[in-house]
Structure 1
Amino acid sequence: MTPLDYEYLRKLLKERSGLDLSADKQYLVESRLVPLARRSNLAGIPELVQKMKGGAEPLTSEVVEAMTTNETFFFRDKIPFDHLKELLPGLAQARAARRSLRIWCAASSTGQEPYSIAMLLKEMTALFTGWRIEIVATDLSQAVLEKSRAGLFSQFEVQRGLPIQMLVKYFVQKGELWQLNADIRGMVQHRQLNLLQDLSHLGTFDVIFCRNVLIYFDQDTKAGIFAKIARMLEPDGVLALGAAESVVGITNVFRPYPDRRGLYQPSSAVARAGAAPHVLKAVASAAR
């Protein structure tokens, strides 16, 4: 792969997915795209790039999907799910009049995260009897969404983070695979979505999980996405980020949730009004 090919791919991935590759990530691109080139009967990445430049849109979409990280497992990092379980009674009390709860998994990958939330809610059936529960799972990759819809997982996948009692209770073995019960699968809606695009059509949510995806974006892109997410979260709602992620130094639209590591709350009416990232930074500077 030539330096020019790499720069072309870096720019394309930034525009299409927000993925911000540093100059030293050429090895990562090669490890993911060489197999794709071979499957497409191409000699290597230079030929792949040439075909993309010629307008091969399906191939370009495959490249973007191949470069997005889909590592996930059930109840990943555990703590955010424990915190959510602790906060759900309070959210239920606050929403007793409308009897509905909306949760969005913004980078749902192959489904372990939204299905973990679905099982958690199922365990709390007494709290939400008669409620309308919506779990919306979105991802850039159509391939991982299709896998998630099927609810079929390997032995290795169900052994990663899933308590054995939940495996027995909510899964049925099918040959070498395990399939989630239809009632759990039915709790999750799947939609293809690019976080760089308009998100307002999804509506507002009580809980948003946006974990382990923004770490691949640059600061300005992160700030813009945080501003959009803030407009979609109820004033008393909860945002969960990944263990290595934070809003500190990026935006003031969220503040850390007291005594809940990894959780955040909308910080103010000004933040939720949807000011542009540069305006938000100015507000933050003026407040110091």
Structure 2
Amino acid sequence: MRPADFELLSNLLKLNSGLVLTPDKAYLLESRLMPVARKHQIPTMEALADKVRSRPDDTLLRDITEAMTTNESSFFRDSKPFDQLRDVLLPRMLEARGARKQLRIWCAAASSGQEPYSISMILKEQAAKLAGWKIDIIGTDLSNPILDRAKEGLYTQFEVQRGLPITLLVKYFKQEGDKWRISDDIKKMVQYRRLNLLQPFGDLGQFDIVFCRNVLIYFDQPTKAKVLEAISKQMPNDGVLLLGGAETVLGVTDRFRPMEGQRGLYELSTAPALQKAV
């Protein structure tokens, strides 16, 4: 790939998605963007770059961005955040929201749905405690095709074997040929919306719990700070943010602080000390 083409396409991706690519990832650009080029009847990567320079239609730009968005996901990925949701956050919210009986959870990179559906299954298993509660789970992602997959709720044998306990597979999925479809009871608990974290999202409303896991690792420092500040504005003072194992707010923003005794959980810096989990 011509250096100038790599610079053009990588700058486009950073602008549209926040994704930062270094020159050693040129092979990744080529492998993911050649199918996009073929779809638009563009013969080579050089021709694709030239097309981008000539101000292409929005469809091509969207396809380029979506092709490069990482969509790796699995049910109950890394397990601990979901244990913390069940054992730390739900008890905390049951007490704090007991009078209102409303809970809103946002999955800021829902991908093909495994994370929000994992959350749904946890809440379903706690149905007795949550009787009478209004629960909103919103899953957002940059890619329309991946959101369509999430809405369908159909997964391969390989996908359901990654992190999903057999008891929950039997309970909440139905086999269809060599694939598994998640039950309507779980599916209807999640609403999906296309959303770019680099663009305003104030209309989403406030969320008590925000999952933004394994997203910030693809951003540079200023973009991380910008996204975290925007997320902080969508949370009440006792809201909680969950990040991925390789992510932190330390040295990035002063809007959040680590929750005492809970790795990977963060609360607003303005939250009273008594709100901390122990």
TM-score, normalised by the number of residues in structure 1: 0.91
- Give, in whole Å, the separation in 2 of the partners of 1:196 and 1:118: 27
2:66 paired with 1:31: no
Partner of 2:255: 253
CA distance in 1, matches of 2:229, 2:211: 15
Q: Is the 8 A contact 1:89 1:127 kept in 2?
A: no
Q: Check whether the contact 1:136–1:190 (CA below 8 A) recurs between aligned residues.
A: yes
What SS does the corresponding residue of 2:236 show, helix, strand or coil? strand
Cα distance between partner residues in 1 of 2:153 and 2:53: 36
Question: Which ranges of structure 1 fall in alignment gaps of 5 or more residues?
Answer: 270-288
In structure 1, the residue matched to 2:74 is 73
Check the 8 A contact 1:74/1:160 in 2, yes or no. yes
What is the alpha-carbon distance in structure 2 between the residues aligned to residue 126 and residue 237 of structure 1?
A: 23
1:160, distance to aligned residue in structure 2 (A): 0.5
Residue by residue over 1:45-103, the C-alpha shift from the partner in whole angstroms, topping out at 9 and shown as x without a partner, is 11112223331321111110010100000000101110111120121111011111000
Question: Structure 1: which 4+ aligned runs deviate by more than 4 Å?
Answer: none
Equivalent runs, 1:1-288 vs 2, <5 Å: 1-54=1-54, 55-87=56-88, 88-268=90-270
Q: Quick one: distance in 2 between partners of 1:133 and 1:181?
A: 17
**CA positional deviation for 1:42:** 2.4
- What's the C-alpha RMSD, in Å, of the aligned pairs? 1.1
Structure 2: which 5+ residue stretches go unaligned?
272-278
The CA distance in 2 between the partners of 1:201 and 1:39, in whole Å, is 34
Shift of 1:35: 2.9
3-state SS of 1:84 partner:
helix
| Partner SS for 2:266 | strand
Within 2, Cα distance between the matches of 1:135 and 1:152? Answer: 19
CA distance in 2: counterparts of 1:2 and 1:153, whole angstroms: 38
* Distance in structure 2 (CA, Å) of the matches to 1:198 and 1:57: 19
CA contact (8 A) 1:65 1:141 kept: yes
Q: Secondary structure at the match of 2:253?
A: coil
Q: Return the letter of the residue paired with 2:67.
A: A
Q: 2: distance between equivalents of 1:57 and 1:234? A: 36
Q: Give distance in 2, aligned partners of 1:38 and 1:140.
A: 22
In 1, distance between residues paired with 2:233 and 2:57?
Answer: 36
Residue 130 of structure 1 deviates from its aligned partner by: 1.1
SS in 2 for 1:205: coil
Q: CA deviation at 1:202?
A: 0.5
Kept in 2, the 8 Å contact 1:107–1:137? The answer is yes
Cα drift, residue 39 of structure 1: 3.7
Q: Partner amino acid for 1:221?
A: T
- Structure 1, residues 217-252: CA drift from partner, whole Å, max 9, x if none? 110111011111111112111100011101111111
Instruction: Kindly state the Cα deviation for residue 176 of structure 1 after the two structures are TM-superposed.
Output: 1.2
What percentage of aligned pairs have identical amino acids?
Answer: 54
